[in-house]
Every structure is written in structure tokens, then in C-alpha cells.
Structure 1
Amino acid sequence: MSFSKLGLSDAIVRAVTEHGYTVPTPIQTQAIPAVLYGGDLLAGAQTGTGKTAGFTLPILNRLSTDAIGAALSSKTSTRSVRALILTPTRELAAQVEESVRVYGKYTQLNSAVIFGGVGINPQIKQLKHGVDILVATPGRLLDHMEQRTVDLSKVEILILDEADRMLDMGFIRDIKKVLAALPAKRQNLLFSATFSEEIKALADGLLNKPAMIEVARRNSTVEVIAQKIHPVDRDKKHPMLSHLIKSNKWTQVLVFTRTKHGANKLVEQLGADGIGAMAIHGNKSQSARTKALSEFKDGALQVLVATDIAARGIDIDQLPHVVNYDLPNIPEDYVHRIGRTGRAGATGEAVSLVCVDEHDMLKDIEKLIKQTLPRQIIAGFEPDPTARAQPVQLRSGAPGHGGRGGRSGGGQVVKVGGGGGRAPAKPRSASGGGGGTAGARGPRPAAPHRSGGRGR
């Protein structure tokens, strides 16, 4: 199967081919014809399987067929937003818009990305000049809607990307406000890494007789990722992490913490051990987040410490190691975290440092992914068998997550403040394989984030 056989125009196939992609991934093979057909779509695929290109390629194709005659027929014509892509985080928004530009370079369509954490005036200026495809986080989009600096009355296609993450971050009210401003007649595409009951409820209210695609087993983890658990006492996690990095000579490690304070503290501790590290989370400025992510992708930074703000936005080919310094309180987030490695058929390793406080969280994760993860005790870091569990501090920003997201566990969780967000991706060649297994390789563009306060 080739991209041209999926019904894409020569201009789009040319752009895809220039970036090294020749064979579509399974999600692209199914989603592209469905979107080109014009109906609504509910699509689920594991992270790292080329989901972004699965919708950017066909919407570029659809809009470009009459873009010259409609939007560019005269030099004085004003472009209107014809496709709206909503993402949960800044990093993801930037990544998706980068993909739109990359794949649409030989069309006459233009695009823009708007998200919080940066000045709004340059965005207003860009919108005033006219935009065909707009990528936005919900909060900043509402800011523009309130200031009447964006017109959504001519939107033909709506895409909700990472819809499960948007619901988790509490965006449902913002999304409903946006939906109310859109034309009733439009094509709706809902992409999600997982299909929860909440996602199905959203789909029921948004989609009209949708085609449904689910490439990977529900909430499954990529098979090429080697997963293991290192039991350890809570106060020995930092020394163990330093030991693992140094003894294994890890050169590029993505580490997840549960809170922003925990991320900052760990960066300081690793620095004192002579290990270069930077943090990325909702309290960091957009420029600081961009710098840390860029240096990590380039290999100049050994360790990137992140909260779940980055769990769905970091797209790095051949990222070898992901460490859960803290287990996530939401089991699905485990899938997204470890999905940063083992992407597009590459192998990867996901290590979780688990103390007695997190045993219930681990049970929830293993129940979700339907497997028992192997335990390996590291010599010199044997956990105290008499240790008793203490309350766990949770990241904030996710409503209804008392007691670990309302799942199991009662009474052992203390909810504290916080927030989250995410980043971009780019294309490559794909061949065979299913849902991220070996051999699958295909366009996979980028992504950014939003932090609290509606992403302003």
C-alpha cells in the first residue's frame, strides 16, 4: 500500500515522500480513506502509530481541492477558518500545526497555531490576515472568541485530537462552548489514544453515524517496550535513579514525576550527582519548555524530567529509556508515558520505581494493561518489608481525581495543586506492522501543551 493509492493528491504525496515516508501505518491506511469520504470518524490508536498524519493528510487533501477557487480566487478575498483542530496542550498544538505545514507545503492552504503562555497580539494579527487551518488549545481559542478575533462560522471540518486527554484535563465545558459557535453542518473527527466510557459518551453527542477505527487493543502497551518494576523505598528513589543512569550509561532518559515540585527537586538532586537534567511542566514558561524539549531531542540534555504535561507530546525517534519516578494516579497515563519510547517499531525500555505508597496504583495499571509487570530488586536498594504506606500527593488539573481518579483506592490520596499540557511530531516512512509493532513506520507529526487557567 502506498499513500497515492489511498486517494491523496500528487502534491500531498510529494510532500510526504520528501520526508521519507513511503508506506502508511495501519491507522493511516484506515483513517485517510474514511476522512476523504467525508463522514464522521471515531478513531483510536496507540500513541506513536502515526495518528496525526492520519487526519492532517486527508483534511489537507479535502480543503486543497477547492482552496484555490474558494479561498484564493481573488487577492482581496478573506480566508476563513475551514478546519479547526483542537488539542489539549501547547506542545501538541505546535506539533500538529508543524505537520500541517510540512504536508501542505505544495498546496496553497495556510495554517496557524494558537495557545496560551505567549502573547495574544501576534495571534490576533495572524488571524486577521486569514487562516485556512487553525490548530488551537481550547482555553486560548475561547479567549479569541470572547475578543471576537476569530470567526468559526465557516468551519467545515472539526478535529478533536487526544480527546481523552482533553476530558482528563477538564476541557469538556470549553469544548462545548466551541461547538456551540460552529456550523451545524460539518465533518467531525475524534481521535483518541484510549476509548473510555467518557469518550464514547462524547462521541455519541458529537458524531453522526461515524466510521469507527481501533488499531490496537484497547489501552494496550506497545509490545516492543520492555517494561519492569524496581521496588524501592520512597526515600531511595533518587539514589536509585542516579545509580541506574550511571551504571547503565544511559545517555537519553525521560523521567516522569507526579508533581511539578517533585520535578524541580529531582532536577536539583540529579544535578548534584553530576547528571544534567531539566524540567518541563505547567509552571515553566513556554520558552523554557521549548528550550528543554529542544535540547533533549538534540541529545544535548541527558535527562528530561516531566510531569504528565509532556506524556503525549514528546515525539523522539529511538528514545531508549522512560522512567516512572512516580507512578501516575490515572492508570491510562501509564500507557501514554511509556509510549514515548518504542515508537514506530523501535525498541525501548520503560522502568518504574515503585514504593509501598504506590502498590494500589500499580494494581490498577496492571489491571488496565492486562499483564503483571516483572519485578526486579536492585542490590543495595532492597525495600523495607515493614514500611507502611503514606498518603500520595497527586498532580492537580484533573477534576474528580480524588482517590486516584475515582478508580480504586480510597482514603490514601491527598489532592494538591498542579496542571498539565503537551508538544509537535514529524513524518517518516512506514512499512507493515500494526499499532506500533516492529516494522510500522509512517508520518508522525508534532505536538505542544497548556497549563492551568484555560491555557492563557
Structure 2
Amino acid sequence: FREDYNITIKGGKIPVPFRSWKEANFAKEITDIIESIGYKEPTPIQRQAIPIGMQNRDIIGVAETGSGKTLAFLIPLLSWIRTMPKIDNYSSDASDQGPYAVILAPTRELAQQIEEETNKFGVPLGIRTVVVVGGLSREEQGFRLRQGCEIVIATPGRLVDVLENRYLVLNQCTYVVMDEADRMIDMGFEGDVQRILDRMPVTNLKPDTEDA
């Protein structure tokens, strides 16, 4: 099956790819959204990356533009956030600790494209997203962040800015996606990315080396 779809893998105990959305066995809410949007068949990167992501394992996915990478990281992310307490401005303990996940993108345009795709699922699921990018009011973004959200989608430079100005903390952020990571490094964002990662909680839990 992997040969048929030109899927190459490297790592230990990698789950088998699924052949259809139905076979993927997602929560019914997510399957219903996929059907309502009209996504007929999963792409090769989705068939293999999503089962790995659903195990909450680190993954590097490489595929061409337009191959469905965004959905490949969104479905495991949203499936996990569904199990977490909602973050809003009424539950100050949770909102004061920041989002559960950060998605980094090299450009404002890509960040906004990811937001559009995320909201197709997030709005029906009650999962809130805030975009933090240059060219928009920092104060307005700060206001939305203080209202609470589960996911922040950002460009590295602006996210560092809001972190340093204390509009946001990442005390409970344990899920990070770096979309077009190679492009971010090429554009000189490596230092900003490291500063962002340094703001996140450190875990002493080690992965099972046989599975990692």
C-alpha cells in the first residue's frame, strides 16, 4: 500500500496507513466535519502521518505543496484538544496559562490559510483559534489572546513580540507544529523559534526508545 502511494517512512513501530476516512476511526464529530466539507479521499501524507500523530508522537512530514499537510497535522491536534478542558475568559486559571498548542508558519499569508482550515473544524468543535501575525494590531491580538483560546497560529517574530510584551504565556503549551520549518530557518527565524520553545514547559518524560 505504501509503495502504491509512494509513501516512505523511517522510525520504529510505525502504524499502518489508513485507506479511507471511515477506516481511520476518528471521533464521529470529526468524521462528520470531514464529510460536510467534502473531503472524499485522504492524500498519501494524511494516510500515514495522521495515524502517527494520533499516537501523540513527534513527526516530520515531507510532501509537496497542495498535498494536504495542513489537515495531516490538524486532525491529530484537534482530536487531542477535544479531550482537554475548554479555555475561556471565565475560567481564568486555564486562560492565564495560555493555549494548548502553537502552530508556527513563516509568513502571514500561510498563517491565515492555516487559520481558515483550522476554523472549519474548530468552530463546530468549540475550539478557539487566535492568529498572531504582523500587519495587524498587536493590541487587538492581545485582547483576543486574553479572552482565551486553545490554539495560537503565529509567525515567529510576532509571537516573540507578544510573549516579550506579556500578552501571552505558554505555560501549558505542549503541542507545537512548525509548518514549512525549512523555510522558517532559511528566512532567519531559527533564533525566534528557539526563544518560543524556551517559553514552553519542560517535561522529564522520555519517549519509549523502541517506539521513538
Q: Is this a same-fold pair by TM over 0.5?
A: yes
Match of residue 375 from structure 1: none
Q: Which one-letter code corresponds to 2:86 in the other structure? A: A
CA distance in 1, matches of 2:61, 2:49: 7
CA distance in 2, matches of 1:167, 1:98: 24
Describe the SS at the equivalent of 2:153.
strand
Call closer, same or farther: CA 1:74–1:122 in 2, change over 3 Å.
closer
1:22 aligned to 40, 45, 51, which one? 40
Superposition map of 1:272-351 within 5 A: none
Match of residue 71 from structure 1: 86
Match of residue 335 from structure 1: none
CA distance in 2, matches of 1:210, 1:8: 26
1:175 aligned to 176, 183, 193, which one? 193
Whether contact under 8 Å (1:89, 1:137) holds in the other structure is: yes
Q: Which one-letter code corresponds to 1:170 in the other structure? A: G
1:84 aligned to 102, 115, 122, which one? 102
* Alignment gaps of 5+ in structure 1: 187-206, 213-456
Q: Which one-letter code corresponds to 1:115 in the other structure? A: V
Q: Flag the structure with higher strand content.
A: 1
Match of residue 166 from structure 1: 184
Query: CA offsets, 1:300-345, max 9 Å, x none?
Result: xxxxxxxxxxxxxxxxxxxxxxxxxxxxxxxxxxxxxxxxxxxxxx
Whether contact under 8 Å (1:84, 1:134) holds in the other structure is: yes
Q: Which one-letter code corresponds to 1:113 in the other structure? A: V
Match of residue 138 from structure 1: 156
CA distance in 1, matches of 2:37, 2:141: 28
Whether contact under 8 Å (1:15, 1:105) holds in the other structure is: no
**Displaced runs of 4+ in structure 1, greater than 6 A?**
207-212
Describe the SS at the equivalent of 1:154.
coil
Normalised to the residue count of structure 1, the TM-score between the two structures is 0.39
CA distance in 1, matches of 2:210, 2:109: 28
Q: How far did residue 14 of structure 1 move?
A: 1.3
Query: CA offsets, 1:184-230, max 9 Å, x none?
Result: 239xxxxxxxxxxxxxxxxxxxx996989xxxxxxxxxxxxxxxxxx
Max Rg structure: 1
CA distance in 2, matches of 1:208, 1:27: 24
Match of residue 120 from structure 1: 138
Describe the SS at the equivalent of 2:54.
helix
Query: CA offsets, 1:125-147, max 9 Å, x none?
Result: 00000110110000000110110
Call closer, same or farther: CA 1:21–1:149 in 2, change over 3 Å.
same
Match of residue 54 from structure 2: 36
CA distance in 2, matches of 1:145, 1:73: 19
Describe the SS at the equivalent of 1:131.
coil
Q: Flag the structure with higher helix content.
A: 2
Q: How far did residue 58 of structure 1 move?
A: 1.2
CA distance in 1, matches of 2:129, 2:164: 21
1:51 aligned to 69, 73, 91, which one? 69
Whether contact under 8 Å (2:87, 2:150) holds in the other structure is: no
Whether contact under 8 Å (2:89, 2:146) holds in the other structure is: no
CA distance in 1, matches of 2:163, 2:208: 26
CA distance in 2, matches of 1:177, 1:72: 24
CA distance in 2, matches of 1:210, 1:94: 38
Query: CA offsets, 1:82-105, max 9 Å, x none?
Result: 010000000000111111110223
CA distance in 2, matches of 1:87, 1:169: 11
Q: Which one-letter code corresponds to 2:129 in the other structure? A: S
Identity %: 36
Q: How far did residue 5 of structure 1 move?
A: 2.3
Q: How far did residue 110 of structure 1 move?
A: 0.7
Match of residue 342 from structure 1: none
CA distance in 1, matches of 2:47, 2:73: 11
Q: How far did residue 53 of structure 1 move?
A: 0.4
Whether contact under 8 Å (1:8, 1:58) holds in the other structure is: no
Describe the SS at the equivalent of 2:125.
coil
Whether contact under 8 Å (2:104, 2:153) holds in the other structure is: yes
2:173 aligned to 155, 158, 176, which one? 155
CA distance in 1, matches of 2:143, 2:208: 35
Q: How far did residue 8 of structure 1 move?
A: 1.9
Is the aligned partner of 1:110 residue 2:110? no
Whether contact under 8 Å (2:87, 2:148) holds in the other structure is: no
Structure 1 vs Structure 2 CA RMSD: 2.5
CA distance in 2, matches of 1:45, 1:116: 27
Call closer, same or farther: CA 1:73–1:177 in 2, change over 3 Å.
closer
CA distance in 2, matches of 1:16, 1:86: 24
Q: How far did residue 47 of structure 1 move?
A: 1.2
CA distance in 1, matches of 2:153, 2:178: 10
Normalised to the residue count of structure 2, the TM-score between the two structures is 0.82
